[in-house]
């Protein structure tokens, strides 16, 4: 079976694939256009090179697949997104290729869940706020009237009860005996071992129930046409004034202006955000990158530059585990796991 990588991966990930794939699977890593130019990982590869290499490949690994590449890859059976989050794919285009399956990788869900918990706990305990003051010799956060929050036995609403949401639920239930109120797109399809106290669907009534009754809210849904602005001004107005919201999904799932204004006016207590609205254009020069609203000026929000996946050495490799599993399944003629719903876009 032939597999073509459609984007650059760090050499550590390339070696990991090679070590873990059986010899029956040929992984094609396209050469650089110009070996002398230092190109950073994750940058795309010249389309013409991909087209040239794709005529007999069975699988493409990538997150943006063009129409010309799909036309050229005549043997294509499967597209593997190398991580979770498929919003860069053109789903209208993929609908024209109903025989080609498309999968995400969810094998980094545990490390993302850990980061979500870190943001939630740090926001609840106002850790960064106190840390920044104390660095200036200022102990006022010990005496001011803004208290930290209890986590124990409080309620945690989870918007998008998938791989990450379910792990966070288990962690917060066992560590803090939190009450878990969750919604997912298809609540009728739920793992028997998932931990929750309330489970609803994506309709308005269930979403409102979770927003009104949660002390903490974790947003962990994919970004799709349905979930863009899933949390806007109206939804924020339903939240408790003490609510803390954590977003590890994608920025636009929460409306940027509504979130900024709610935090600024202290309509909710705080937020922990790992995902954003504006990203650096050049990963080698990621400075002076700001959002459309100055979240950086607010003392009730924790900012994390989409780095939940960055875990000592293993970070990039963990996402590769599901990819490797799927390549092995496909090479044995079996169905790949974590298949996307092309109609819904996740």
Ligand X SMILES: NC(=O)c1ccc[n+]([C@@H]2O[C@H](COP(=O)([O-])OP(=O)(O)OC[C@H]3O[C@@H](n4cnc5c(N)ncnc54)[C@H](OP(=O)(O)O)[C@@H]3O)[C@@H](O)[C@H]2O)c1
Question: Which residue ranges make up the site for ligand X (CB under 6 A)?
Answer: 84-85, 106, 108-109, 112, 159-165, 183-186, 189, 202, 220-223, 226-227, 248-250, 274-275, 306, 308-309, 346
Q: Of 222 and 336, which CB lies nearer to ligand X in the complex structure?
A: 222
Q: Of 94 and 223, which CB lies nearer to ligand X in the complex structure?
A: 223
Q: How far apart are CA 164 and CA 107, in angstroms?
A: 10
- CB of 112 vs ligand X, minimal distance in Å: 4
Residue 219's beta-bridge partner residues? 159, 247
Q: Is the dihedral of CA 209, 174, 308, 294 positive or negative?
A: positive
Q: Of 5 and 183, which CB lies nearer to ligand X in the complex structure?
A: 183
Q: How far apart are CA 155 and CA 182, in angstroms?
A: 10
- CB of 309 vs ligand X, minimal distance in Å: 4
Q: How far apart are CA 248 and CA 62, in angstroms?
A: 21
Q: Of 53 and 318, which CB lies nearer to ligand X in the complex structure?
A: 318
Q: State the Cα angle at 337 between 336 and 343, rounded to 5°.
A: 95
- CB of 214 vs ligand X, minimal distance in Å: 14
- CB of 122 vs ligand X, minimal distance in Å: 15
Pairing relationship of beta strands 155-159 and 59-61 according to DSSP bridges: unpaired
- CB of 272 vs ligand X, minimal distance in Å: 11
- CB of 86 vs ligand X, minimal distance in Å: 7
3-state secondary structure of 114: helix
Q: State the Cα angle at 84 between 78 and 88, rounded to 5°.
A: 70
Q: Of 206 and 215, which CB lies nearer to ligand X in the complex structure?
A: 206
Q: What is the CA radius of gyration of the chain?
A: 22
- CB of 317 vs ligand X, minimal distance in Å: 14
Cα 117 → chain centroid: 14
Chain position whose Cβ is nearest to ligand X = 162
83-120 burial string, b = 16+ CB within 10 Å, else e? bbbbbebebeebeebeebbbbbbbbbbebbbbbbbbbb
């Amino acid at each position: 079976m032939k597999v073509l990588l459609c984007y650059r991966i760090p050499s550590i990930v390339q070696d990991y694939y090679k070590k873990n794939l059986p010899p029956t699977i040929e992984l094609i890593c396209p050469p650089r256009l110009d070996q002398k130019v230092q190109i950073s990982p994750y940058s795309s590869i010249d389309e013409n090179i991909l087209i040239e290499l794709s005529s007999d490949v069975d699988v493409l690994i990538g997150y943006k697949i063009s129409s010309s590449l799909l036309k050229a890859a005549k043997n294509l059976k499967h597209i593997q997104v190398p991580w979770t989050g498929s919003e860069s794919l053109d789903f209208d285009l993929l609908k024209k290729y109903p025989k080609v399956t498309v999968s995400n990788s969810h094998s980094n869900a545990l490390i993302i869940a850990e980061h979500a918990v870190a943001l939630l706990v740090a926001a609840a305990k106002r850790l960064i706020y106190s840390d920044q003051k104390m660095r200036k010799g200022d102990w006022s956060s010990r005496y001011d009237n803004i208290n930290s929050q209890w986590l124990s036995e409080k309620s945690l609403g989870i918007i998008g009860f998938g791989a990450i949401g379910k792990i966070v639920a288990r962690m917060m239930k066992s560590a803090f005996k939190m009450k878990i109120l969750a919604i997912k797109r298809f609540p009728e399809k739920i793992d028997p071992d998932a931990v929750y106290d309330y489970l609803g669907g994506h309709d308005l009534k269930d979403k409102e129930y979770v927003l009104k009754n949660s002390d903490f809210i974790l947003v962990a849904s994919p970004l799709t046409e349905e979930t863009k602005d899933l949390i806007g001004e109206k939804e924020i107005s339903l939240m408790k004034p003490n609510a803390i919201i954590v977003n590890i999904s994608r920025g636009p799932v929460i409306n940027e202006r509504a979130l900024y204004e709610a935090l600024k006016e202290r309509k909710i207590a705080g937020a922990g955000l790992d995902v954003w609205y504006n990203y650096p254009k050049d990963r080698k020069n990621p400075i002076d990158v700001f959002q459309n609203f100055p979240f950086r000026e607010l003392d009730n929000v924790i900012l994390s530059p989409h780095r939940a996946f960055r875990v000592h050495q293993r970070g990039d490799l963990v996402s590769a585990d599901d990819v490797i599993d799927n390549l092995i399944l496909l090479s044995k003629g079996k169905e790949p796991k974590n298949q996307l719903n092309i109609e819904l876009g996740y």
